[in-house]
Amino acid sequence: MKNTEEKTKKRWENRSMVFGIVSILSCMCSLPTSGVPLGIPLGIFAIAFAVISAKGGMRGKAVAGIVTGIFGIIIGLIIYAMILFVVVQLKDQRILNQFRPEQIKFIQDYIQMYIAH
């Protein structure tokens, strides 16, 4: 019975570490529409899976899952804050006057694509 519990614990630890790594990688995608929304929930799942495997003490992969999950969540939140900052700054007319009209059109199209998804 103990061998089965040990295998189950290792599975949850492995899942935790994999989800944490995927969380970081998905946050580092170039498009916020594809990377950031996945990075935060995957980081949360990584932490949850590590906590599930914690019965009887945490080992290396579970700790790695928690660390990478937290790191993925933090990166995702920073990217969201940066996007919010840019969108707020684009409402200021002084900032908009510094761009050429074709650049403003490109930014508006990108924001529309982001909102549409």
Q: Are the C-beta atoms of residues 15 and 49 closer than 8 Å to each other?
A: yes
| Predicted local distance difference test score (pLDDT) of residue 48 | 92
Q: Are the C-beta atoms of residues 23 and 37 closer than 8 Å to each other?
A: no
Q: Where are the domains of the chain?
A: 2-116
Average pLDDT, consecutive stretches of 10 residues, N- to C-terminus, the chain (117 residues): 73 89 83 65 92 79 90 88 79 81 82 69
